[in-house]
Amino acid sequence: MTKFKKKVLITGASGFIGSVLTTRLEGLWYNVIPFSHNEQFFNYKNYVVGDLLDKKQINGLIGDVKPNVVFHLAADKFRCSTGIDFLRNSLDVNFIGTLNLVEACLHAGSVEHFIFLGTCEEYGDSTIPYFENQRENPISVYGFSKMVATHVLQNMFRINKFPITILRPSIAYGPGQGTDMFLAGLIKSLINNEYFDMSDGGQMRDFIYVDDIVDACLLTLGNNSAIGRVVNIGSGKSMPLREIAILTAKIVGDSSVDLIRFGSLPYRNGEIMNYSVDISLARSMLGWSPRTSLEKGLKTTVESFI
């Protein structure tokens, strides 16, 4: 009989990154407890449906399971949203939900490592390239709410020695991503021979393949040198969004480029125009480097739509 390793709770397990991480960890014989707000998910026997804002439920879950490791991926991700109502909702999920989870973990006393998936949007309009020790300057509701959660976790580390690590990935992509995200939406339109509206594409962007992000998560697991630290995860190479869109279209088929309507949409409010991520700390501390080139990742993603 196979002996399971440590208990690992994954919040946001039904999400794009969370589902890949869940599958990988189960394949490594960890005792995985997937947790999600989404009731329609995979047939995992330990799957838990819940709400991070339900403090009583979270206290009960953590108290019963007593996880050794927590990967906290659940988040409100409405990046295009602005205004007080959206800010309140994002803070509820990304801040209060995180606080509820941390409090329950502190009470349980079983957690050896709490790994939080932040975002490079926390840096916002800061100087580039983004380094982990610089001050954040988020210009989106999503980036601000994730930054607040990051600061709470860092405070819990300083005050309570709570063993946290914050991974800050750049923009994830890959097979299985929802078409509400740029690359997935672009690929779907081009494959269906439909026009795709976008901005002029002058934004600099760093896309990182989902398997590379999961690799970083696994390398962080049990890495004591990463405890208390923020670590950037990205390809380390930024390109104009226009060039990325054209590269994607050429992979679908040369004539697909004509389907992209550059400049038909304005730039978003709170758009980060200059985006560049330094990943030297991930290389030195985690022994991590991205393995998937943008062209290879795009080809695999396009093939997954066919």
Are 233 and 167 contacting, i.e. CB atoms less than 8 angstroms apart? Answer: yes
Q: Could you tell me the pTM of the whole model? A: 0.95
At 157, the pLDDT band (50, 70, 90 cuts) reads very high
Strands (DSSP E) found in the chain: 7-11, 31-36, 48-49, 69-72, 113-117, 164-169, 171-173, 196-197, 204-205, 207-209, 230-233, 239-240, 260-261
d(CA 224, CA 288): 15
- CB atoms < 10 A from the CB of 237, how many? 15
Please, what is the end-to-end C-alpha distance for the chain in angstroms?
40
CA distance 274 to 75: 24
Query: What are the tens digits of pLDDT across the range 214-232?
Result: 999 999 998 999 999 999 9
β-pair partners for 31: 7
Q: How many residues does this entry show for the chain?
A: 306
Closest listed residue to residue 282, CA positions, set 210, 238, 239, 230: 230
pLDDT band at residue 82 under the 50/70/90 scheme: low
CA–CA dist 233, 208 (Å, integer): 8
**CA torsion through residues 119, 124, 129, 131, sign:** negative
What is the β-pairing status of strands 207-209 and 171-173?
Answer: parallel
Band the pLDDT of 41: cuts 50, 70, 90.
low
Query: What's the pLDDT at 1?
Result: 43
Average pLDDT rounded to a whole number, residues 194-219? 98
Q: What is the pLDDT of residue 44?
A: 67
Answer whether residue 2 shows pLDDT above 70.
no
Residue-wise pLDDT for 158-188, tens only, equals: 999 999 999 999 999 999 999 999 999 999 9
7-174+207-234 has which fold? Rossmann fold (3.40.50)
pLDDT for the residue 80: 56
Give 246-278 pLDDT, tens digit per residue: 999 999 998 899 999 999 999 987 788 999 999
Q: Stretch 79-94: mean pLDDT, rounded? A: 77
Whether the pLDDT of residue 299 is over 50: the answer is yes
C-alpha span between 296 and 115 (Å, rounded): 28
Q: What is the pLDDT of residues 88-142, one digit of tens each?
A: 888 999 999 999 999 999 999 999 999 999 999 999 999 999 999 999 999 888 9
- List, in order, residues 6 or more apart from 284 with CB less than 8 Å away: none
The answer for 252, left when phi > 0, alpha when psi is -120 to 50, beta otherwise, is alpha
Residues 275, 271: Cα–Cα separation, whole Å: 10
Between the alpha carbon of residue 45 and those of residues 58, 214, 224, the distances in Å are: 19, 22, 30
Contacts of 66 (CB under 8 A, 6+ apart): 7, 108, 110
Please tell me the distance from the alpha carbon of residue 34 to that of residue 26, in angstroms, as a whole number: 10
